[in-house]
Amino acid sequence: MIKLEAWLKELGLDQYCPVLAENDIDLDVLLDLGEPDLEKLGFSLGHRRKLMRAIAARKLALGLGTTTPSPEAPAGASATHEAERRQITVMFCDLVGSTELANAIDPEDMGALIRRYQDVCAGAIARFDGFLAKFMGDGVLAYFGYPLAHEDDAGQSVRAAMAIIEGLAQTNRPDGRPLEARAGIATGLVVVGDSSGAGNAREPDIVGQTPNLAARLQALAEPNSILVSQTTHRLLGRQFDCQNLGERALKGFAEPVQVWLVLSEAVVESRFAAKQSAGPSPLIGRVEEMGLLRDHWNRTRQGAGGAVLLQGEAGMGKSRIVDALSRDIEDEPHFRVLCQCSPYHMNSSLYPVIRHFERAAGFAPADSASCKLQKLEALLAAGGAKAAATTSLMADLLSIPTDGRYPPLVLPPAQRKGAIVAALVDQLTELAAQKPVLFVLEDAHWIDPTSQELVTRLAEGIATTSVLALITARLEYMPPQTNGASFASRVLSRLTKEQCVDLVAGTAATRSLDSAV
């Protein structure tokens, strides 16, 4: 029987285990809870939605319900499920060897295995904001980008498939071998309608080639592998390392289809870098903004650091400007520290900082705890950190056990956070004593509260250091209230019509489009 704690962990919601235990809620009772109950228990809105989806999916797996409930329709969406054309990413996943297994083992054991498999799938799909459309025996069909489109639906579908494969590897079949899955993912335009025609079906009817393609790719995949279509691969940008398997003839498709095998999640420092598939096009306009940043950088080099906030709607070119500054100062001695906020980790304390450290220290998935600790020590030593307490705090931040090599941290959690934030500010200051530091925080509209605390402390403490903090954010971001320190802020306006023409021409040139296009 799956335990509540393990289940919540798969969803990334295990921080609620204590409050559920205090209220005598086990996995059985949890299935009866509604959103108001979760609100009373202190679940945030995002977590309530995620858990409600997972509860519905688990009921579905247990034969107690229908499909994942769609979140409330977005403003303006039709309540009657009228047919609409939209782009979605479809994932098909299958349990490897289930027919052979069903013939070999007791039906009850087989039922338990299938339930475990469905639990893992439902948990992974909910965790990565997918919509679990259907269980078909040992097959699972899920949509990403439906009913609501998210920032990175293609990437989330691959992460969900990886989480399924990882989750199953921890469950053994009666013959001692771990469970395995294969997944196929395709993205394309589909028509989403109501299959009953009466406007009351729970499961949306998806019409188009995309589900067929995902199903064919799944059938082609080796055990424990994920195949993606050409469109999905393009949307993934450089987020994942993939191998080109060439064109394959697939049943039901007149033309051979380009197939990609996902190898691993790539280590990219920012969303902007992950999306750049072509070389850099020239920066169009933004002369004033570049001048402002250059001025700040020159002052920073002379020991008068500061914080600059670049705000603007999605796609206005905030990251492009940061990239242009980084290229401008490439040949000057300096350190660059980039922290990328994520829409999926807004409640995960210091997530952008943790990812930065993991990248900068060069952690690999197979590294042991002691190997990670050594890499962290080397990184901190290179940055000039001397105190053992700093290593202790950073190891704690990165959840690396220190096995008694450092004094244990005796601080309660709230003070521990404060101490980590202070140690991070100290590290940037120590780094700046060697060379000027460009600290970039990308997409602060997705910042978690502790990282926002770090921005505040940093802004308050950098006026006399060589640190320039450059923060990008969409318009909804509220800069923190600081004690005396101010942010130089710029809201990006739209490029002029002529500049847009130049921009399109520049993009086309770097992608070497045919001049006839």
Site residues for ligand ATP per CB under 6 A: 272, 281, 283-286, 312, 314-320, 443, 474, 503
What are the helix (H) ranges across 383-412? 388-397
d(CA 455, CA 352): 12
Select from 272, 183, 196 the least CA-distant residue to 232. 183
Q: Coil, strand, or helix at residue 324?
A: helix
Closest separation between CB of residue 325 and ligand ATP, Å? Answer: 12
> Which of Mg ion, ligand ATP, none does residue 289 bind (CB under 5 to 8 Å by kind)?
none
- Strand 437-442, strand 335-340: pairing: parallel
> Which of Mg ion, ligand ATP, none does residue 283 bind (CB under 5 to 8 Å by kind)?
ligand ATP
Select from 77, 81, 85 the least CA-distant residue to 191. 85
**116 or 318: whose CB is closer to Mg ion?**
318
Helix (H) or strand (E) holding 263: strand 257-265
> Which of Mg ion, ligand ATP, none does residue 217 bind (CB under 5 to 8 Å by kind)?
none
Q: Which stretch binds Mg ion (CB under 5 A): 137-145, 305-313, 314-322, 337-345?
A: 314-322
> Which of ligand ATP, Mg ion, none does residue 503 bind (CB under 5 to 8 Å by kind)?
ligand ATP
CB contact at 8 A, 102 and 117:
no
Closest separation between CB of residue 474 and Mg ion, Å? Answer: 9
**117 or 446: whose CB is closer to Mg ion?**
446
**52 or 283: whose CB is closer to ligand ATP?**
283
List the structure tokens of 111.
């039922």
Closest separation between CB of residue 446 and ligand ATP, Å? Answer: 10
d(CA 142, CA 224): 18
CB contact at 8 A, 145 and 87:
yes
On the question of a cis peptide bond just before residue 147, with omega within 30 degrees of 0, the verdict is yes
DSSP 149: -
- The amino acid present at 60, given as its one-letter code, is L
DSSP 172: B
List the structure tokens of 243.
């191998």
Select from 275, 248, 274, 249 the least CA-distant residue to 260. 248
319 near Mg ion (CB under 5 A):
yes
**245 or 501: whose CB is closer to ligand ATP?**
501
Residues 24-83 that bind Mg ion (CB under 5 A): none
**318 or 457: whose CB is closer to Mg ion?**
318
Residue nearest to Mg ion (CB): 319
- Contacts with Mg ion by CB under 5 A: the residue count is 2
Q: Distance of alpha carbon 422 from its chain centroid, rounded?
A: 27
239 near Mg ion (CB under 5 A):
no
Q: Which stretch binds Mg ion (CB under 5 A): 172-180, 316-324, 387-395, 427-435?
A: 316-324
98 near Mg ion (CB under 5 A):
no
**219 or 292: whose CB is closer to ligand ATP?**
292
**140 or 321: whose CB is closer to ligand ATP?**
321
Catalog residues that contact Mg ion under the rule CB under 5 A.
318-319
